[in-house]
Structure 1
Amino acid sequence: MSAEAISRDQARELFAKSGLTYSVLSPENMRSLRAKVNEQMVASGVMHGALRCRQRAIVRDGYAVIRCKASYFEDREAITFNPDGFIGFAGWASDGNVQPVLQGFAAWVKEMAP
C-alpha cells in the first residue's frame, strides 16, 4: 500500500478535528465516501483483490453505514456513523485489511472539510 497506514483512532480524530459533523451525511456525500473507499479497496488488492463496497450506503437521521463484501462474505461493516457519535471502521478486519477503508475515509474527510 502506497499511503502511510493509519489507525481507526487516527481516522476518528481526523474527522473530529476537521470541523465536519454528521450534517454532512447526505446521500450524495455518502456516495462520494463510498466511491473513495471502493477505489482504495480495488487499488489495494486486499483479500486477493475481492474486497469491495456494497452498492448503496444507508443514510438515516443521525446514522449512516457503508457495507462491504469479499470472496468469503457478502455483507459486513465498512464504515458506520452511529447515532451516539462513534464512527466504526470494519470492526471485523485486521489492521492491514482495514487500510483501504481508512485511506478512503481520510481522503473524503480532507475533501469535505471546510
Structure 2
Amino acid sequence: MSKKESMNDMARKEWEKSGLKYSDISEAMFLRLVKILDETLRKNTSGINDLCVTMKPKKYAPVFKKDYRGGMREAYIYCRADYFTGREAISFNSDGFIGFCGWACTTTTEPFIEAFKIWIKELLEE
C-alpha cells in the first residue's frame, strides 16, 4: 500500500470511527468543510501555485445533494490551481465512498486530508 493510499484510508477510517453518517451532515456543515479546505489549501506548500477551492464556473462550485430529510446524500468539492480547474478535491459519493483528490500525488493530498480531519474534529465537538 502506498503512502497516499494509507493516508486516504486512514482519513476514511476516522470518518467511520466518528460514527457520523452522511444524513447527519447539513448543508451548513458541508460548507464549513469547504471553508476549512480553502483556508488549508491557501496555506499549502506542495508546490502547486494558487491551489484553492473552485467556486466558478458554476459547474465546478461545491455540490450538496440532500436526502429526503435534508441531510447529505452526496456532495462534491472541486479545486483549481494555476494550471487546472475543476479537479475533484473531496467527494462524498452516493455509494458511501469518500474520495480524496485521486489525481494528486501524496504531498498534494496532505492538505485535503488535514482539512477533512479538522472538520471531523469540529463536528464531534459540537
Global fold match (TM > 0.5): yes
SS at match of 2:108: coil
> Which residue does 1:89 correspond to in 2?
100
1:22-80 deviations in Å (ceiling 9; x for gaps): 02332211110011111111112333431101124201131100110011111010000
Q: Say whether the 8 Å CA contact 1:79–1:87 is kept in structure 2.
A: yes
Structure 1 CA distance for aligned equivalents of residues 105 and 90 of structure 2: 14
Structure 1 CA distance for aligned equivalents of residues 14 and 49 of structure 2: 27
> Which residue does 1:105 correspond to in 2?
116
**Greater percentage in helix:** 2
TM-score norm. by structure 1 comes to 0.88
Larger relative contact order, structure 1 or 2 (CA cutoff 8 Å, min sep 6): 1
TM-score norm. by structure 2 comes to 0.80
Q: Structure 2: 5+ residue runs without aligned partners?
A: 56-60, 67-72
**How many aligned positions are there?**
110
**Pair member with larger Rg:** 2
Percent of pairs identical after alignment?
35
SS at match of 1:96: helix
CA RMSD of aligned residues (A): 1.7
Structure 1 counterpart of 2:91, one-letter code: T
Structure 1 CA distance for aligned equivalents of residues 81 and 124 of structure 2: 30
**Cα distance change of structure 1 residues 26 and 57 upon mapping to structure 2, 3 Å threshold:** farther
